[in-house]
Amino acid sequence: MNYDRKLTGVVIDPGHGGSDSGAVGNDMLEKDYTLLISKYMYDRFKELGIPVTLTRDSDVSLDPTNRVNKILNAYGNNSDVIVISNHLNAGGGTGAEVIYALRNTDTLAKKVLESIGAEGQTTRKYYQRRLPSDTSKDYYFIHRNTGKTEPIIVEYGFIDDSNANVEFLKENYQRLAEAVIRAVADYKGFNYIPPEGFVSNSYTVQKGDTLYGIANKLGTTVDELKKLNNLTSNNLSIGQILKIPEKYVQDGEKNIYVVKKGDSLYSIARENNTTVSELKTINKLTSDVLTIGQTLLLPSATVIADTYTVQKGDTLYGIANKLGTTVSELKNTNNLTSDTLSIGQVLKIPNSNNEQNSNTITYTVKSGDSLYSIAKNYDVTVDAIKKENNLTSNLLSIGQILKIPTTSITETTYVVKSGDNLYGIARKFNTTVDELKRLNNLTGNLLSIGQILIIE
């Protein structure tokens, strides 16, 4: 992976821990929140291929000396190491702050704070703080004693703020963590890929962007963008983070598609069972030109869950295996008289329209899955899954749809929706994040839309 700026590694420091609970308020302990957000960050940096280390991954005490040693020993004492020390504030106030070291510029701190603000959190300031007894030194040891590294302290909000604002912190910790990750990616120039199902509340200004162009791209107006971002002119700077109007981000009647290299309006329309004309209308496009990273709205009425669009290289046998059905069922359901398929052809999935066996649920195979891990997760046997899906081997393919027998499943299950996080789901079902992770064998906090969680 090539970086515009060199990045040796990221050290994530969950503030406090063990006997040091940090700030306390609104039934929250700072040490718990900082660990939660830090472990999410750790998982995401690993997903992005970025070397990353945690100073603590459990509720243990760390004195300043040990904490600093863990930071300096992770990737060495050099300026290409970023340190993110996660905290919550207290003492009466609202909003996020970022504090950076005297030896560094404000670039990273500013990007992080703007990115957090774009996810809906109130922001206060980014700044440096000096030691009163020696103003040539930093006030905080995490800045003062960490050599040449580039450390920032991120205060995500006030733990003793109003109930509504603290609830925002609890329910949106993944978004806030993602905001920091996105800012670090932009700062270091590496390729940022959001997690599956994640729709950002922000837009990062790119070379050649204008407010008019961005407004047109996002289906909003220049005035709305200026008002939301407190802009007094039309001037923009590359890397500037703009908040996106909420009605665009959370339009309940539409889905989101992010343009990738090689995409065209025709290919996107075909993939999502809609038309070029409909895409242009819903996105207020005046031409067929697209840019990589551009976000398009998709009409939900055309996103049909019970169909499959034929892709290059597909065969009826391969599709049947992937969807957990048979060639004859596919042919009968679609009135096919031969095995010949054409790219872009839309096939109905057998038994997908309320005909599915009430004793099964569907599961979409993800990277890293095996029949053993899936069977273990749903408390069934490998043989039961193979029999239900007419499998003759243990080989699986990513995206393959399996029927999971539920005759032995007595747990309550929950299907993850857009915007869900483990904390919100745990609260909804009167349980804990740790219990959800234990029941579902989760090692991180990352969820995907459509994922089925065992609740109890």
CATH classification of the domain holding 343: 3.10.350.10
Q: Give the tens place of pLDDT for each residue, 239-250.
A: 787 877 654 443
**Token pair recorded at residue 391:** 């499998």
Residues 94 and 211 placed together within one structural domain of the fold: no
Residues 219 and 316 placed together within one structural domain of the fold: no
Residues 51 and 118 placed together within one structural domain of the fold: yes
Identify the band that residue 2 occupies on the pLDDT scale cut at 50, 70 and 90: very low
The one-letter amino acid at 340: T
Residue 102 lies in a domain: yes
Phi, psi (degrees; rounded to nearest 5) at 251? -70, 110
Q: Which of 355, 389, 424 is at the close of a domain?
A: 355
Residue 373 lies in a domain: no
Residues 348 and 294 placed together within one structural domain of the fold: no
> Is pLDDT above 80 for 43?
yes
The predicted pLDDT at position 140 comes to: 97
> Is pLDDT above 70 for 251?
no
Residue 42 lies in a domain: yes
Residues 239 and 341 placed together within one structural domain of the fold: no
Residue 449 lies in a domain: no
The one-letter amino acid at 194: P
Residues 17 and 110 placed together within one structural domain of the fold: yes
Residues 59 and 108 placed together within one structural domain of the fold: yes
Contacts by 136-144, CB closer than 8 A, 24 or more apart: 136/102, 137/102, 138/101, 138/102, 140/99, 141/64, 141/68, 142/13, 142/67, 142/68, 142/71, 142/83, 142/85, 143/99, 143/100, 143/101, 143/102, 144/101
250 DSSP 8-state letter = T
Residues 82 and 177 placed together within one structural domain of the fold: yes
What is the domain count for the chain? 3
Residue 443 lies in a domain: no
Q: Give the tens place of pLDDT for each residue, 168-209.
A: 898 889 889 999 999 999 899 887 887 765 656 677 777 778
Residue 35 lies in a domain: yes
Identify the band that residue 254 occupies on the pLDDT scale cut at 50, 70 and 90: very low
Residues 97 and 184 placed together within one structural domain of the fold: yes
Residue 439 lies in a domain: no
- Host domain of residue 15: 9-188
Residues 225 and 76 placed together within one structural domain of the fold: no
Residue 28 lies in a domain: yes
Residues 67 and 117 placed together within one structural domain of the fold: yes
HSE of 86 in the Cβ direction (CA atoms, 13 Å)?
A: 31
**What are the CA-CA distances from residue 167 to residues 7, 26, 98, 424 (Å)?**
34, 9, 21, 10
The three-state secondary structure class of 191 is: coil
> Is pLDDT above 70 for 327?
yes
The predicted pLDDT at position 321 comes to: 65
Q: Which of 88-102, 179-193, 216-230 has the highest mean pLDDT?
A: 88-102
> Is pLDDT above 60 for 356?
no
pTM for the model: 0.53
Cα distance between the two ends of the chain: 42
The predicted pLDDT at position 454 comes to: 78
The predicted pLDDT at position 241 comes to: 78
Residues 296 and 308 placed together within one structural domain of the fold: no
Place of tokens 């949106």: 172
